[in-house]
Amino acid sequence: QVQLVESGGGLVQPGGSLRLSCAASGSISGSYAMDWFRQAPGKQRELVAEVTRLLNTNYAESVKGRFTISRDNAKNSVYLQMNSLKPKDTAVYFCRLISGVKVYWGQGTQVTVTE
């Protein structure tokens, strides 16, 4: 079993920055991908950014140029640096880990962008 714990969410003004962290623990083996999703009230969960073990990255169009995903394989952790935040970025952010056919989710961390 794998556990994911996110941290770093909070309340920030438009234009501000936050850095989310997600640490994985448990039975992690082999190659795995980690990514960040978000879900705003009344909306479907959407992919924000993903990074493979080989550090290939992909971003949603809405966050390109503002968000940066990174990972530390030694720590089984993934990070999301969020700059130039906008009110539309307000959502619960979830970390996901995919290992083979197994998918694991964190509990989510709230990000609120408001004046």
Provide the residue type at 39 as one letter.
Q
Tell me phi and psi for residue 52, to 5 degrees: -90, 175
**The pLDDT of residue 93:** 98
Per-residue pLDDT of 44-67, as tens digits, reads: 999 999 988 788 999 999 999 999
Q: Is 71 exposed, middle or buried (0-12, 13-18, 19+ CB in 10 A)?
A: buried
**The pLDDT of residue 28:** 78
**The pLDDT of residue 108:** 96
Q: What string of pLDDT tens digits covers the 115 residues of the chain? A: 899 999 999 999 999 999 999 999 888 777 788 999 999 999 999 999 998 878 899 999 999 999 999 999 889 999 999 999 999 999 999 999 998 889 999 999 999 999 9
**The pLDDT of residue 14:** 98
**The pLDDT of residue 112:** 98
In eight-state DSSP terms, residue 96 is E
**The pLDDT of residue 27:** 80
DSSP notation for 7-34 = E--EEE-TT--EEEEEEEEES--S--EE
**The pLDDT of residue 26:** 87
Cα–Cα separations (whole angstroms), residue 95 to 3, 15, 51, 54, 101? 10, 23, 11, 18, 17
